[in-house]
Amino acid sequence: MAYPPVPAAQVQQAEAKLGFQLPTLLARLYVEVGNGGFGPGYGLFGLEGGFVDEDSRLTLPDLYASWANPPAGTLSFPPWPEKLVPICDWGDSIMSCVDCSTSMGSMVFALDPLSRTPEDLTFDQWIEDWVQGVDLFKRAMGSRRKKRR
């Protein structure tokens, strides 16, 4: 289920909460298409009032915060990379993430907090491939296998 688009001010509030900007196309999708629930996997995570992660029930900014700053007493994993934002779930906590350290955002495939594979494409390219019918999950899994060899 897709959620209605949000005002640009809501994207700016989410970016303020994150402490950095989202890729331009992702921000535009929230304003022009909807607040998550559409796109690859089970759908892009939304901003406040939008589509949430099924397991944690958190929106994109809160999900990122929970991974970047896990509560005390939880399982200890190496620190989550700064500005690496989970944007959609493929099931079994397998996530596609976008590295927001650049304006275009590079895609990263995460099987779990320890196993991350750069996908060598930007968020824009990734979304365009999805629109064109590319099986993004299959491609990411194949790319992951090739890089492990």
Contact 56, 66 (CB under 8 A): yes
Beta strands 84-91; 94-99: pairing state: antiparallel
Alpha-carbon distance of 64 to 98, in angstroms, equals 11
pLDDT digits (tens, 9 = 90+) for 2-16: 799 999 999 999 999
Alpha-carbon distance of 5 to 30, in angstroms, equals 6
- Predicted confidence band of residue 28 (pLDDT cuts 50, 70, 90): very high
Whether residue 50 is predicted with pLDDT greater than 70 in this model: the reply is yes
Contact 110, 116 (CB under 8 A): yes
**Is 8-72+79-148 assigned to CATH 3.40.1580?**
yes
- Domain regions of the chain by residue span: 8-72+79-148
Whether residue 102 is predicted with pLDDT greater than 80 in this model: the reply is yes
Output phi, psi for 119, to 5 deg.
Answer: -100, 0
Contact 92, 102 (CB under 8 A): no
Whether residue 149 is predicted with pLDDT greater than 50 in this model: the reply is no
* Residue 133 tokens, joined: 């019918």
Tell the burial category of 104 from Cβ atoms under 10 Å away from its Cβ (0-12, 13-18, 19+). Answer: middle
